[in-house]
Amino acid sequence: MFALATYLRRVTDVSGSSLPGGSPGAFRHGGPVRERTRMSKRSLAVAGAAALSLLLAACGSSSSTSTTTAPAASGGSTSAAAPAGKVGVILPDSASSNRWETADRKFLTDAFKAAGVEADIQNANGDKAKFATLCDQFVSGGVKVLMIVNLDSDTGKACESKATAQGIKTIDYDRLTLGGGASYYVSFDNVAVGTAQGEGLVKCMQANGKKTGGVILLNGSPTDNNATLFKQGYEAAIKAAGYTIAADQSVPDWDNTKAGTIFEQIFASTKDFVGVDAANDGLGGAVIAVLAKNGLAGKIPVTGQDATDSGLQNVLLGTQCMTVYKAIKKEAEAASALAIALIAGDTAKADGLATGKTADSVTGKDVPSVLLVPQGIFADTVKDVIADGFTTVDKICTTADLKAACTKNGVA
């Protein structure tokens, strides 16, 4: 009833504004609507039926975040309507990295809201069955564009096949679904992400006086194509600098608890190593915890990725030598721009945005892509992440030691 009442209020009293750089009312749902003091019974019936239809449609979805904007008032003239259609988004989880909920959800929501495009953003919470259910709901619910971060390529492919069969355009967001045949792919150059890690680790090991030696690789999930690309980048950089691989293990589902157990086993059997390339900040934190128990935290360089708050704190404290910052806001904005163009039926514009290509090793085809550039972050460049608005000083400089490290490295 609350949704119905809200909608009826919008029917009778609505205002809006134009998008930055656009004409008034551009990309807004519907045309201008003025409050009327008198409405015929027939008009009321039509409005009520439309509201009831909207309410019933909403009941069919378990939305975590749903965005839409009101029509823009424009002096009684008809303004340009937002592209008709809805975007469905499936995020993977919140355990492997907190970025999905704290960054991606926020930036995607903001971008769609600014464009006046309706979006339903859900999280599969690492559950393949839930992922499949969400996909089915979006496909049967008639979304025009479906954006997914797959849990693995098999479930992602099954979802994208169903969507394609219904004429729904698909976007692989952050992770390429091998064999899925997505319409577009938006991510960072993931080999470059790995290269930044590998080169960063080499820099730290050499600064530590270790010009040669064994390096432990703690990779991401074996079912995540990104993890394969990250490893390709950092393993090549490490070997090119003259180091050897002392141990090489993947962590199922990017699970940080499993990472700690795996690294403890590696640590017990591999005494002679000079660095650890951990594929993200969560895995890096698990490694640091084991090293700390053995009095070695800060003495053996460890990498990470994602520039999480905890990762940046470890970098400032010296227990993690570096992380990789991926400007997620830019990634989300690029993906939403593609989705908005596709909803408007402007394939030419979408193709103009996705000028890169990524090879799908299963289909043998290139997927039109938007590939962004990552940045290696060390203690003296943590301030760059904060300056970009990704996090804040208050979230990073939380203890006396961290405040001192923040001051030393210009984080203010």
150-189 confidence digits (pLDDT tens): 999 999 999 999 999 999 999 999 999 999 999 999 999 9
269 has a pLDDT exceeding 60: yes
Residue 359: strand pairing partners: 366
pLDDT for 81: 56
| Highest CATH level, class, for 190-326+374-408 | alpha beta
Rg (CA), the chain: 24
CB 153 within 8 A of CB 203: no
For 98-146, what is each residue's pLDDT tens digit?
899 999 999 999 999 999 999 999 999 999 999 999 999 999 999 999 9
2-188+329-372: CATH number = 3.40.50.2300
Q: Is the pTM of this model over 0.85?
A: no
Q: Quick one: average pLDDT of 346-354? A: 97
pLDDT for 18: 31
Q: Where in the chain is the domain with CATH 3.40.50.2300?
A: 2-188+329-372, 190-326+374-408
61 has a pLDDT exceeding 50: no
For 299-334, what is each residue's pLDDT tens digit?
999 999 999 999 999 999 999 999 999 999 999 999
**How would you classify the pairing of strands 323-325 and 375-377?**
antiparallel
Of the pLDDT bands very low, low, confident and very high (cuts 50, 70, 90), residue 83 is low
> Average pLDDT of the chain?
85
